[in-house]
Every structure is written in C-alpha cells, then in structure tokens.
Amino acid sequence: MPHEHFQECIEACQRCATICNHCAIACTQEDEASELTACIQLDLECAAICTTAAQVMSMNGLMSEQLCQLCAEICNRCADECSKHREIEHCRKCEVACRHCAEVCMHMGEHA
C-alpha cells in the first residue's frame, strides 16, 4: 500500500506533534507550571510518537498500522490531560488536535 494511503494520518500526526510541542513549551511559561508537569510530559511523549508515526507512514513502513494504534492511544491520553486545563487556550487547542489525530489514527487500523 503506497504512503498516499496514509496521507491524512501523516498530516494529522504532524499537526498534532507541532501543537503538542507548542503546548509543552507554553505550559512551562504558565504561572502554575509546577501543576502542569503531567501535561508537559504527555505533550512531549505525544509529539515524539506522532512524529515517529508520520515518519514511518511516509516510508510505507511495515509497522505503520501498529504505530497508528499506539499514536491514537497516546493522543487520547494527552487529550484527557489537556482537558483538565481547558481554561488555558493552548491546552484547549492541544486537546482538539489530539482528539482529531486519535480518530484519524484509529481509522487507519480499520483500513489495513
């Protein structure tokens, strides 16, 4: 299956990674940064997995579907954590991006 099959998921993962990285950095600048350590940790893990998933999918990698499932799981965990901080705009945006990415990634496994 050519990498074009994964294009929507690649783009969702790249966008999610960018937003998660932004959220992590922005969290460190919040007054209550010490209360956002779980959010920062999940943002960084989510960004790393999203980046890896996008890269492997772009190579039409053998483990693409499995990575998509893992990506969906970390995206949902990150979204759950960001939802606890909805009063912070970057956390709200991160939650939305993570939920979207998780949804797209979950569908990749169904079409394998």
Confidence of residue 95 (pLDDT cuts 50, 70, 90): very high
Model pLDDT for residues 38-59, shown as the tens digit of each residue: 999 999 999 999 999 999 999 9
For CA atoms 65, 67, 70, 74, the dihedral sign is negative
For residues 71 and 13, the answer to whether their CB atoms sit within 8 Å is yes
The architecture in CATH of the region 3-110 reads: Up-down Bundle (1.20)
Question: The tokens of 19 are what?
Answer: 């937003």
**What are residue 7's phi and psi, to 5 degrees?**
-55, -45
For residues 77 and 100, the answer to whether their CB atoms sit within 8 Å is no
